[in-house]
Amino acid sequence: MSIIELNEHPQNYAGQQVTVPGYLLGGPEPIAVVTEPGIEYKYEKLASECLSIVNFGELDGELGTELDGKFVEVTGIFYRGTDSYGISFTSCGLTGLDIGGDPINNIRVVSKGDK
In order, the DSSP letters of 62-74 are: HHHHHHTT-EEEE
pLDDT score for 94: 79
Closest CA to 48 of 88, 9, 77: 9
pTM comes to 0.85
pLDDT score for 45: 66
Q: What is d(CA 41, CA 88) in angstroms, rounded to the nearest whole number?
A: 17
pLDDT score for 88: 53
pLDDT digits (tens, 9 = 90+) for 52-98: 888 888 887 888 888 999 999 999 999 887 665 555 555 577 788 99
**Residue 40 pLDDT more than 70?**
no
CA 101 to chain centre: 13
